[in-house]
Amino acid sequence: MSQVKTKHKMHVSAGDRAVEIVCYIIYTIAAFLCLYPFYYIMINTISANDISARGDILFLPQNIHFHNYISAFRIEGLPQAFKISLMRTVLGTALTVFASAFLGFMFTQEKMWARKFWYRLVVATMYFNAGIIPWYLVMKTMHLTNNFWGYILPAIVSPFNLILTKTFVESVPKELQEAAEMDGAGVLTVFFRVIIPVIKPIMATVAIFSAVSQWNAFQDTLLLMTDTKLYPLQFVLYQYLNQASSLASLAQSTSSTASLAAAAATTQTTTSVRMTITVIVVLPIMLVYPIFQKYFVKGIMIGAVKG
Amino acid sequence: MSKKKLYSFKLFLLVVPFIVLVLLFCYYPLYGWMYAFYDYKPPKDLADCAFVGGKWFASLVSSDVKIKQLIQVLKNTFAMSGLTLGTSWLPMLFAVFLNEIHGVKFRKFVQTVTTLPNFVSWVMVYSIAFSLFNSTGMLNSLLMKIGLIDTPILFLQASTHVWFTQWLWLTWKNLGWAAIMYIAAISSIDDEMIQAARVDGATRMQIIWHITIPSLLPTYFVLLVLNVANFLNNGMEQYYVFQNAFNKDYIQVLDLYVYNMAMGSGGYSVSVAISMLKSLVSLVLLFIVNKASKVIRGESIL
C-alpha cells in the first residue's frame, strides 16, 4: 500500500477542530485503559509489600525492592513451569515455522500428485472442529495425555500459517527455482538454498504468531495434563489465582528471616506473589511485542486477503 | 511407472508426514463422535461399552430440568455472541476516528498500546481483573479510602451483568487488534478522492460518512459473515477462567458447558453428543452465510 503523506494546510473549520479534540481525548482514555493495568501490577511488585497491601501504590512505586522476584523463583514448581513454557515455545515454534515454510513451498509445486486435494484437505481444517472432548479422547488413545509432545505435535501444521507462507512463496519469481533446477538442484536443495533465504520475512511472522500462542496456551494443559511437572507458567498462575492463602506461606518459608520492620516491606503476600508471576509471564510479550509489531500486522493483512 | 509420475509421487511423499499429522489431530477426532452413541465409562475401552444409539441425544431434552439448563446455556451463548455481533462495527469506528488524528506519533502509540491486550492470554486477563477488581484489589481499596463504600464490592463474584462484563473484557482484549485491518484498508483509500471532496468544501464528518466508511464496508461484511458462522463457537477459555460459583449460571456458553459436563461430571458421551450437534450447526451456518454472501455480494468467503 502506498503511504503518501500529504499535509493539508487548509483552513480547518471549528467543527473539524472539535472532532479532532474529542478524538484525542477518547484515544488517550483508550490507551490508558489498555496500558494502566499492566503498569499498576508492575509498580506494585517492586514497591514495599506493606504499602502495596494498603492499596497506596497507584501511580508511582515506593521503596523499590526486588525481593518478590527473587523469592518467586524459590516457589516450588515455578522454575519447572518456566522451563516447560520455554521448551514448548522454542520447540513448538521451530517445528511450526519449518512445517509452514516447507508445506507452503511444496504446495506450490504443480507437479505434486493430487496437490490441490491435499492442500484443501489441510486448509479445510480451519472450518470445522470435532470439539474438545472428542479431541481429548483421541489424544488419550494416542497416549499424548501427560506427555510433553501433546503440546507440540498438534500445533505443527497450522492451516492459517500455511496460507500465509504459501501466499508469500507464490510471490517469489518462478525463475529462481527454474534457474536452480537447471543447475541440477533437487527440490529439497531448492527449498533450503533458494526459497528459505527469500521467505524469511514471512517465517518471522509465523514464528511470532506461533511463539505467542505457545507461550499463552492454557486450554491444552487443562485438557491433557494432570502431571504437575508438565504444567506451564500460565497454568500454574491460574492455579495460584484460585487457591489463596497457602501460597504466601510457601514463599515466606523459604525467604530468609530479617528484622521485623524490614520483613513487613519484603514479606511475600498472596497478592504480591500473584502479581509477580503475572509480570513474569507478561513481560516477555511486552518486551518482544513492540519490536515485532510490523510482522503481526503483515501477517494479518496477508491472512485477510487470502483467508 | 513413468519417470514423471515417479517424480510427482516423490514430491507427495515429502509432505506425507505432515498430512499424517493433520489426519491424526484434525480428522481422527471426528471418529471420536462415535462416543456419543455409546455408554462410555472412562477406564474402559470403547469396544467394551454398550451401544446405546440415540439415547444421549434424547436425554438432552428428557426432563424439564435438563431442558431448562440447556435453554439457559443457549441463552448465554446467544447473548454473548449477539453482543459481539451487534457491536462488530466498533473496530471500524475505532480505526476511522483514529485516522482523524494528525499527530503520527500519537496515532502509532495508540495503535501499539491498544493491540497489546490481544497478545496476553485469558489467564493473564483474569489475573489483571483479579488485581484490579477483587475484594482487596485496586478499585475496592481506592473506593474505601475515599469513603464511597464501607465493604468491598465483589465485582468478580457478581451474578448480575455477567454477559455485559464478559463483553467488556472481550472488547478490551480485541478492539485494537481488530481495528488494524481497517487501519490498513483506510491507508489504501485513494487520497485524491479525499482531497477533491475537501476542495468541494466537505467537512470531516462528511468525508468520513461518504468516502471512508463506504470503502471499508466490504471488509466489514466479510468479517461479519465469519462472525455469524462462528456464532456458536465462543471458545471456552475466557469463560472458564472467569467462572465461579456465583456467575456460573450466566457464564456457561456451549463450549464451556460441554467441558464442564465431561470433565466436571464425567458425562463424556452426552457432552460429545452436544459438541457434535454444535459442530454440525456451525458447519451449516458457515454454508448458509457463504451462500448468502455469494447471492448478496457476488463473492464467496470460502
User: How many whole angstroms separate alpha carbon A62 and alpha carbon A48?
Assistant: 6
- Chain A residues inside the 8 Å CB shell of B184: 1, 297, 301
Q: Which chain B residue is nearest to residue A113, measuring alpha carbons?
A: B8
Of A16, A41, A238, the CB nearest to B131: A41
Find cell 470439539 and name the residue.
A131
Contact (Cβ atoms closer than 8 angstroms) between residue B239 and residue B126: no
Distance CA B281, CA A191 (A): 41
Q: Which residues of chain A does B175 touch, with a Cβ-Cβ cutoff of 8 Å?
A: 30
**C-alpha to C-alpha distance for B286 and A129, rounded to whole angstroms:** 12
Residue of A nearest to B123 (CA): A238
User: Is the separation of the CB atoms in A70 and A85 below 8 Å?
Assistant: no
In the block, residue with C-alpha cell 460459583: B245
The answer to whether the CB atoms of A137 and B35 lie below 8 A apart is: yes
Q: How confident is the model at residue A188 (pLDDT cuts 50, 70, 90)?
A: very high
Q: Which residue has the higher pLDDT, A56 or A170?
A: A170
Mind listing the pLDDT tens digit for each residue in A243-297?
A: 754 555 555 544 444 444 456 667 777 778 888 889 988 988 888 877 777 777 7
Cβ–Cβ under 8 Å, residues B251 and B164: no
User: Which residues does A184 contact at the CB level (< 8 Å), separation at least 6?
Assistant: none
Q: What is the DSSP letter of B118?
A: G
Taking CA–CA distances from B220, the nearest residue in chain A reads A304
Report the alpha-carbon distance of residue A285 to residue B125 in Å, rounded.
13
Nearest to A89 by CA among A174, A254, A237, A209: A209
Contact residues on chain A for B289, CB-CB shorter than 8 A: none
Query: Which amino acid is present at B275?
Result: S
CA dihedral A86, A245, B251, A281 (to 10 degrees): -20
Cβ of A23 within 8 Å of Cβ of B101? The answer is yes
The pLDDT value given to residue A2: 41
Residues of A in contact with B11 (CB under 8 A): 106, 109, 111-113, 187
Say whether residue A176 is in contact with chain B using an 8 A CB cutoff. Answer: no
Asked if residues B56 and B269 have their Cβ atoms less than 8 Å apart, the reply is yes
d(CA A31, CA B110): 6
Tell me which chain B residues have a C-beta less than 8 angstroms from the C-beta of A16.
Answer: 203-204
Please indicate whether, in this complex, the C-beta atoms of A300 and B106 are within 8 angstroms of each other.
no
Write out chain A residues lying below 8 Å of B193, CB-based.
Answer: none
The three cell numbers of residue A87 are 521448551
Cα distance between residue A102 and residue A199, in whole Å: 11
- From first to last of its 302 residues, chain B has per-residue pLDDT tens of 688 888 888 999 999 999 999 999 999 998 888 888 887 777 677 777 777 777 788 777 788 888 888 899 999 999 999 999 999 999 999 999 998 888 889 998 998 899 889 889 999 999 999 888 887 788 888 888 888 888 878 888 888 888 999 999 999 999 998 898 888 888 888 888 888 988 888 888 888 898 899 988 888 888 888 888 888 888 889 999 998 888 888 899 988 998 888 887 778 888 888 888 888 888 888 888 888 888 887 777 66
Q: Which whole-number Å values give the CA distances from A304 to A144, A171, B126, B288, B300, in the listed order? A: 33, 16, 29, 21, 14
Interchain CB distance below 8 Å, B198 and A10: yes
Question: For residues A181 and B155, what is the distance between their CA atoms, to the nearest angstrom?
Answer: 66
Tens of pLDDT, residue by residue over A135-168, are 988 898 899 999 999 999 999 999 989 988 998 8
As beta bridge partners, residue B38 has: B51
Please tell me what DSSP assigns to residue B50.
Answer: P
Q: What's the CA gap between B220 and B88, in Å, rounded?
A: 8
- Grid cell in block for residue B234: 465462543
Interface A–B counts its CB contacts (< 8 A) at 256
* A232: nearest Cα among B169, B121, B264: B121
Residues in chain A within 8 Å Cβ distance of B93: none
* Burial (0-12, 13-18, 19+ Cβ within 10 Å), A5: exposed
Instruction: Name the closest residue on chain B to residue A153, using Cα atoms.
Output: B21
Q: Is the CB of residue A18 less than 8 Å away from at least one CB of chain B?
A: no
Coil vs helix vs strand at B10: helix
Please indicate whether, in this complex, the C-beta atoms of A278 and B127 are within 8 angstroms of each other. yes
Is the pLDDT score of A32 beyond 90?
A: yes
- In DSSP terms, B51 is beta-bridged to B38
ipTM: 0.86
* Alpha carbons B160 and A177: distance in angstroms, whole number: 62
**Which helix or strand (DSSP H or E) is residue B294 part of?**
helix B268-297
Q: Rounded to whole angstroms, how far apart are CA atoms A121 and A166?
A: 15
* DSSP 8-class letter at B48: G
Q: Is the pLDDT of residue A102 over 50?
A: yes
Rounded Cα gap, residues B10 and A109, in angstroms: 12
Q: How confident is the model at residue A9 (pLDDT cuts 50, 70, 90)?
A: very low
Q: Which residues of A touch B136 (CB under 8 A)?
A: 53, 55, 271
Who's near A108: CB < 8 A, 6+ residues apart?
A: A166, A169, A170
| Residue of chain A whose alpha carbon sits nearest to that of B128 | A37
Task: Find, in chain B, the residue whose alpha carbon is nearest to that of A215.
Answer: B121
3-state secondary structure chain A: CCCCCCCCCCCCCHHHHHHHHHHHHHHHHHHHHHHHHHHHHHHHHHCCHHHHHCCCCCCCCCCCCCHHHHHHCCCCCHHHHHHHHHHHHHHHHHHHHHHHHHHHHHCCCCCCCCHHHHHHHHHHHHCCCCCHHHHHHHHHHCCCCCCCHHHHHHHCCCHHHHHHHHHHHHCCCHHHHHHHHHCCCCHHHHHHHHHHHHCHHHHHHHHHHHHHHHHHCCHHHHHHCCCHHHCCHHHHHHHHHHCCCHHHHHHHHHCCCCCHHHHHHHCCCHHHHHHHHHHHHHHHHHHHHHHHHHHHHHHHHHHHHHC
* Contact criterion met (CB < 8 Å) for B271 and A133: yes
| Paired strand residues for A37 | none
| Yes or no, beta carbons of B237 and A219 under 8 Å apart | yes
A278 interfaces chain B, CB cutoff of 8 Å: yes
Task: From B227, B122, B37, select the one nearest A134 (Cα to Cα).
Answer: B37
Contacts of B220 in chain A (CB under 8 A): none
The model's confidence at residue A16, banded by pLDDT at 50, 70 and 90, is confident
DSSP code of B260? I
Q: Quote the percentage of chain A above a pLDDT of 90.
A: 37
Residues 112-171 of A with CB under 8 A from B: 112-114, 118, 121-122, 125, 127-138, 142, 153-154, 156-157
Residues of chain B neighbouring A215 (CB-CB closer than 8 A)? 121
